[in-house]
Amino acid sequence: MVNDGKPPLVNGRLKLRVLTKSMLAIRVTLIALAVLTVIGFMTFNYQEVHLLKGIATTFVNFKTIFASPQFSHFTFPEAVHQLLITLSLGVLTTLIGALIALFLSMLAAENLSNKTVSNSVKGLMAVIRAVPTVLWVLIFAVSAGLGSVAAVIGMSFHSISYLTKAYSESFEELDQGILEALQGCGAGWWQIICQAVLPSSLTSIVSWTFIRFEINFGVSVAMGAAAGAGGIGYDMFMDSAFYYNLHEMGVITYMILAVAMLLEYLSLQMKKRIRA
């Protein structure tokens, strides 16, 4: 059918799209963001940096990082040790967040709790999620000091709010008829949780937990420099800010990518076994 620019016909009638308030708000927001982006690029202080020269230098740096990686300030065993520290930080924060979030999500799910408790927990978790992980780490660093303690507390704090939302939404997708049937048979709240909710949502729980683990691993790399938590992130920060050793940054980047790919593979294999 050739589109001649006229409105489409449905059963011989014209099909018109009504401009609703939500569509109007979306269009106004997109236009405003586009205008602000253009204004931002026009008013940036480029400090006499030529755009084309900057792009060319960036590609040269990328070539140095990814094409010729090599160790300089530490050896491969030392790099593996620092990488394990970063990985351990991600594992610890994910475990703490998952265990606490599992109980809070039961209170946040509307089909497992009353409306007042559910809205209260969801509201609190939304406030916690609104603050970035880095800010939570810096907030706790005021009392605990910069280091691994503040990083663990801040990352766990944000992980709890993230996983509580994810788990509760998985619980709310369960068939309400199954829950009502168990209640009709005289099953208690914990029996419903153990016999119906957790077995049915196990795949989703594992998926969301591994997603958060991957996020925490990436955040752990950043916290190694920002919060003084150590690990491979601190070495990358030193190579980029002090030594300007792009070759060693390439080694660290490849090691981080290898761990991320390994985590993704383990996640897929675990989900396949649970489904089987």
Q: Say which residues have a Cβ less than 8 Å from residue 23's Cβ, sequence separation at least 6.
A: none
Answer for the pair 117, 107: CB distance below 8 angstroms, yes or no.
yes
Q: Say which residues have a Cβ less than 8 Å from residue 91's Cβ, sequence separation at least 6.
A: 213
Among the listed residues 103, 94, 85, the one whose alpha carbon sits nearest the alpha carbon of residue 215: 94
Of all residues in the chain, the percent with pLDDT exceeding 90 is 14
pLDDT (average), residues 117-135: 88
pLDDT of residue 1: 47
Question: How far is C-alpha 19 from the geometric centre of its chain's CA atoms?
Answer: 34
Among the listed residues 212, 247, 199, 216, the one whose alpha carbon sits nearest the alpha carbon of residue 153: 216
pLDDT at 16 over 70: no
Report the range of poorest mean pLDDT among 48-52, 59-63, 217-221. 48-52
pLDDT of residue 180: 74
Structural fold of domain 73-275: MetI-like fold (1.10.3720)
pLDDT of residue 11: 57
pLDDT of residue 138: 82
Average pLDDT, the chain: 82
pLDDT of residue 5: 52
Domain ranges of the chain: 9-65, 73-275
Top-confidence residue, 94 or 48: 94
Cα–Cα distances in Å, from 78 out to 2, 85, 216, 239, 272?
66, 11, 22, 15, 34
Report the range of poorest mean pLDDT among 8-22, 49-63, 69-83, 195-209. 8-22
Q: What is the rounded distance in angstroms from the CA atom of residue 219 to the CA atom of residue 216?
A: 5
pLDDT of residue 14: 54
